Structure 1
């Protein structure tokens, strides 16, 4: 149940009209929901017109009678409002905008620090690590999954409760101005940006555009709190000279939390950190990938500012698993499978291939890649570039699936004497892969979320006993 939120708050929201709210200003709001199937007595229902579904289409008498109030568009109310004489409505121009305004009002009821996090890669993992380290001392409210857009961020803020003393809010973007809008909703005190890379390039055409969009978080918190800066990212390093309070992490010799070393094996990674002048510690995590070192360093940098002990944070990170599909390792017979199927872009694919290169093994190294989506008009170019990158690695075999990924296999084949295999049928690819697994291999599976590469992983798990 939400706390300290009443009908009176809604009267602060710009609206076309208020219907049925007279003499109800002191009534509390139990919860704010956007799914008609989840509406309960005392809830406020916001009808979102989404990319695939318009929630207005599911409003009926049961929803209106059960909800304490429905937030609806002017267009819907003009056409259908007369059908519900006993309903209470907040009629607005845009319900998604109103959802954000409600979230900001609710967030401001809590005088606690909010840490905003964004970046091209690793923001969800870093957010989960932040939650882990901060939880050793604090009650943390954090984004669930990757609820990081103009709908997800408000839903995260609505989960704030009286016992929370800090919040971690993930912010995503695929077009200019979205990070700024999310900052207006979440009102963060501090900001951390993981890196700048090739992701969501359809709405952000160049890396300069990505950097400008992401660093809107730094601009928002500049005079409010701390900017946590990855000094090894060339686009972010320039932010060190901007006035304000900065905490630096990375391999840079002047970093407040310096990555002094990294090692890996097929069960996890160890990151050596130097904190200040005299303190060094080794943090072991059950995740593969040198890129996780930056998530560890960033999380520790934030934790130290919020009085979390180094030993306690180290212990918390040693038990960290995070969300599935992010460099998860399991055995299939005598083979090792790395499940990195959650998502993919050029930067994250290269990082995953680097991780594979880091592993010392006599097994054949095989990479299975699906299309990298949302790369805009230069998609074919980016796929070809990744194929060339893999050709220069220790990978023995490349198998691709989808459409643009054929550019990867073609580029790989042109450089290597071994021809890469491209598939347009995920079932055929999976069957071929299972046959290949009779030879000892270490296999990396990765692709954009919509390519459903996790289906391959599930088939592999079911092919032979998993350890």
Structure 2
């Protein structure tokens, strides 16, 4: 273990204050992700949007006593802290972790590429865990901050490491190479994903190859022409620069000669047999997957195992047992008004910490439960391991633990000593299922976290609310990404209001609000008071503006500390009466100005009377003044938008001057943020852009898809020429046809105007037009050209490969209407990558 004095010397920093030598075991970069305060070192990173030095006081109060800083702080506030001053905290993080990496000499596998990095890493863990004590990247921690946190996990008890590395622009991989220093390299593939920061595909490949400068071997697919050429050039260049032996290349190919020559890939219902030649010997593996991505990932893993000289009988056995990888944490509706976080594919301390952080974000239920299996291959004694788990559960405020497995059950006394933690234990998943009582889980958020061998997906099925097979998947990580893209365009100090009205544009209420609260958004906006009340009941504490307050809801607004938009003298007077009756003063309100939209708001002629009324009474404190842009996305309306901005500037200035205190001003929406930066003022309102939709092609390219609407095939029928489909027989088979009935209709939000071929859906990656008139609960697709369609197949209504904008165009409407029109009976599933 290290201490502040040692780390100061390593970094050649200035030890501003040294009050003791506590052991440092954990690095904290995010103040919200603190687990073990006493043994943590906080390194505040500085970016264009946020300076994390502001969180030092908060962490000190929580018990952290070790800090690396890059700017002066008031040491008198932190009398018991060790403080190291450096020039740049990110560089210090990298230097510290590189020094830590230097202490270990066991094999390290480095994985990079455009796709498949996390799958290959996790599959290698499955394939090799019986032979090694492995440390690996948690989830997809492959960035400039994720990699150091991954490498920092290396411990003496490990004998193999697997780390993935991802980059978004030139100059980044040289930093990651110093941290990972892989002895074995795997380049999974190359594609156009995340290419925005590069001149061309070869520049991206060459940047990624820097990871393998000091590696003994590089495993790669030869069939990517640009990748093969760059690898061969890289091999020649490294050989010339290095005095020791050159890097060994291990290639595989489905098209030409290679170290591992793939001869055939034969797919059946749910398995693929892959035949190959290796060193002149014919061999094969079977994998329980049939998609091309899984086949490619499996071959990369196969090549690595051949390089390690693992007996081929062992390879065959383990490849056939490969399991699905949970690439995301899913939040689903559970029984008895509960919420379920399903993470039932692996269990280790790194992924447990991540899952508990996600659990902690959820505020919709006061009680939090963890169902946890034995943690396997930890390298620690059971006592010390479960002591650490118990401390983590206590720190996260977990109320209930269900432990499943012989090891965790044996150490149950550790958990029984945790105050406020109710615990129960079962020897196996089967025992828990046999004794399962649904009434034991009521109005709580439940994390299901288990090693793959425990088959916790069976528990997930018991706990999940049974619902309509049509589901709307919402990617919380994509929302966070999209927020970041808009934040990067904001001027320093500009606040952000997140629009969660209309059930968060169809995406959900408290689930989205929880995410925005966790990511430090400044304000929320809802349409009506009852939406705000629901958020308060779900544990949302941040300020909430109500955009359409009604006099009948004023009592609820005051009771739940909501902040109404005031847009008329009538509404102002009515709300003033309610505020005075409740004996409140300086109650926060938001003034809506009409600058040209002519929907709601005070006009310029109303300002003198408004000022007089506000100055005469002390009932209100104006938190913000705002207006609404009518056509910020339309270049042809830019002059109108500029006039709106000018009028808003004038009217809000008159109000600010008269009231005499600082007031937040905001007029800009999603499109306005990037099209009219001069109108950002003090705050912007982010709505549809947060959910992955923007009218600008340049901005759209930076956003991630958030919502995916899926359904399934209920039945497949063959029709003869002349037979009709649906109500009124509006569709007639002109040739022998195949029709698939799918479980979605206009009651789910799929508009009837999309009938008879106007709308299409994706099935097996191909578009299938709607056949006939859409019914309330069902519709039919013409799948004559997709012969592999069968009952139970997944159908994509809109998503990554069929954007909601396209569906809106077919329906002659806008994406807003499609998203907000998804029925509440459609099950929402939330996930975080």
Question: Normalising by structure 1, what TM-score?
Answer: 0.69
Q: Deviations over 1:334-361 (max 9, x none)?
A: 98999997999xxxxxxxxxxxxxxxxx
**2:29 aligned with 1:34:** yes
| 2:219–2:249 CA contact under 8 A, matched in 1 | yes
- Larger mean CA deviation between 79-88 and 190-199 belongs to 79-88
Q: 1:300 to 1:4 in 2, by over 3 A?
A: farther
Larger radius of gyration: 2
Which structure 1 residue ranges, 4+ long, deviate > 6 Å from structure 2? 331-344, 370-373, 378-383, 390-393, 406-411, 419-422
Say whether the 8 Å CA contact 1:72–1:92 is kept in structure 2: yes
Counterparts of residues 48-67 of structure 1 (less than 5 Å): 48-49=45-46, 54-60=51-57, 63=60, 66-67=63-64
Taking a change above 3 Å as real, the CA distance of residues 338 and 208 of structure 1, as seen in their structure-2 partners, is farther
Q: 1:180 aligns with which of 164, 174, 187?
A: 174
Residue 103 of structure 1: how far off its partner (Å): 0.9
Structure scoring higher RCO (CA < 8 A, sep ≥ 6) equals: 1
- 1:176 is displaced (CA, Å) by 0.8
Structure 2 stretches lacking a partner, 5+ long = 237-246, 330-344, 346-456, 479-690, 705-761, 770-795
User: For the residues of structure 2 that align with 1:57 and 1:284, how far apart are their CA atoms?
Assistant: 50
Match of 1:109 among 90, 103, 108: 103
Q: Secondary structure at the match of 2:283?
A: strand
Task: Find the residue that maps to 1:395 and give its secondary structure.
Answer: strand
Q: Deviations over 1:408-440 (max 9, x none)?
A: 6699x8xxxxx9998445645754996xxxxxx
Q: Measure the CA separation in 2 of the matches of 1:138 and 1:420.
A: 58
Question: Cα gap change, 1:46/1:129 in structure 2, threshold over 3 Å: closer, same or farther?
Answer: same
> Counterpart in 1 of 2:6?
8
Structure 1 pair 161/430, CA: closer, same or farther in 2 (3 Å)?
farther
Match of 2:295 in 1: 293
1:234 aligns with 2:237: no
The yes-or-no answer on 1:169 pairing with 2:163 is: yes
**1:18 matched to 2:12:** no
What CA RMSD, in Å, does the superposition of the two structures yield over aligned residues?
Answer: 4.4
SS in 1 for 2:292: coil
Query: Matched residues in 1 for 2:26 and 2:82: separation?
Result: 16
Distance 1:255 1:81 in 2: 62
1:234 and 1:207 mapped to 2: Cα distance? Answer: 11
Shift of 1:125: 0.9
The residue aligned with 2:208 is 214
Mapped to 2, the partners of 1:404 and 1:165 lie a distance apart of 45
Residues 387-466 of structure 1: pairs in structure 2 closer than 5 A: 394-397=766-769, 399-400=797-798, 405=803, 423-424=815-816, 427-428=819-820, 430-431=822-823
Match of 2:216 among 225, 228, 231: 225
**Number of aligned residues:** 388
Of residues 189, 193, 203, the one that matches 1:195 is: 189
> Is the contact made by 1:250 and 1:297 (CA closer than 8 Å) also made in structure 2?
no
Note if 1:143 corresponds to 2:137. yes
Q: 1:23: how far off?
A: 8.4
Per-residue deviation, 1:156: 0.7
TM-score, normalising length from structure 2? 0.41
1:309 is aligned to 311
Would you say 1:272 and 2:272 are equivalent positions? Answer: no
